[in-house]
């Protein structure tokens, strides 16, 4: 159970942190790297090619004109989840569209702007197809959410 999280800049880490924490809570091994599609293109490709065999899912976080998820997807057959980061004048809409609008042939699964927890949960759901213990933990996670909603008290 191994997820590689790649972010385009250290400035993305506050957004990415909840994904790291949730994956660790589920007992998933996580490798977090800062590598950029435009600032370190060669190192990015070298890294993806070197870890691809042992990675189950990649999570890729980037803001602005976010090329990172597509470049990672171009260099691996493993599933790639794109996490758009809110930054700059367009507040993440640019990153969201760059990631979700991949041309046909090389898909990137996309979560909402800043939705790191959903990126982690989607990665866990994909891995649960292979690791039954994750399916059980997901069931418990859903149950705890259910209980939180049902036990919520509204003080009027
Ligand atoms: C993207 O540009 C990064 O993913 C980050 O979201 C954004 C800004 O990067 P910094 O200028 O903060 O390094 O490549």
Give tens-digit pLDDT for 3-15: 999 999 999 999 9
Per-residue confidence band for 92, with pLDDT thresholds at 50, 70 and 90: very high
| H/E run at residue 58 | strand 57-63
Per-residue confidence band for 156, with pLDDT thresholds at 50, 70 and 90: confident
Q: Which fold has domain 2-151?
A: Rossmann fold (3.40.50)
Average pLDDT over residues 91-118: 98
What pLDDT sits at residue 53? 98
Give tens-digit pLDDT for 47-58: 999 999 999 999
Instruction: Name the nearest CA neighbour of 60 among 71, 47, 50, 52.
Output: 71
- Residue 8 near ligand 1, beta carbon < 6 Å: yes
Q: Calculate what percentage of the chain has a pLDDT beyond 70.
A: 100
Pair 52, 76: CB distance under 8 Å: yes
Q: Which two tokens stand for residue 120?
A: 């982690």
- Residue 12 near ligand 1, beta carbon < 6 Å: yes
Write down the mean pLDDT value for the chain. 97
Q: Which two tokens stand for residue 126?
A: 């994909």
From the alpha carbon of 8, which atom of ligand 1 is closest? 4
Average pLDDT over residues 115-131: 98
What pLDDT sits at residue 66? 98
Q: Which two tokens stand for residue 20?
A: 């790291």
- Residue 35 near ligand 1, beta carbon < 6 Å: no
What pLDDT sits at residue 110? 98
Give tens-digit pLDDT for 124-149: 999 999 999 999 999 999 999 999 99
Strand partners, 7: 34, 61
- Residue 23 near ligand 1, beta carbon < 6 Å: no
């Amino acid at each position: 159970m191994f997820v590689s999280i790649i972010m385009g800049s250290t400035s993305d880490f506050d957004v990415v942190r909840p994904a790291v924490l949730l994956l660790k809570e589920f007992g998933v091994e996580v490798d977090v790297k800062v590598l950029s599609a435009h600032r370190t293109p060669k190192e990015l490709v070298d890294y993806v090619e070197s870890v691809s065999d042992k990675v189950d899912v990649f999570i890729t976080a980037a803001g602005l004109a976010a090329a990172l998820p597509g470049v990672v997807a171009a260099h691996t057959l493993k599933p790639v989840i794109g996490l758009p980061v809110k930054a700059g004048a367009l507040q993440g809409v640019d990153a969201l569209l760059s990631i979700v609008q991949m041309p046909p042939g090389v898909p990137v699964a996309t979560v909402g702007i800043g939705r790191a927890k959903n990126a982690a949960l989607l990665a866990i759901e994909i891995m649960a197809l292979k690791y039954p213990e994750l399916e059980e933990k997901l069931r418990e996670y859903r149950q705890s959410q259910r209980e939180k909603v049902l036990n919520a008290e509204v003080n009027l």
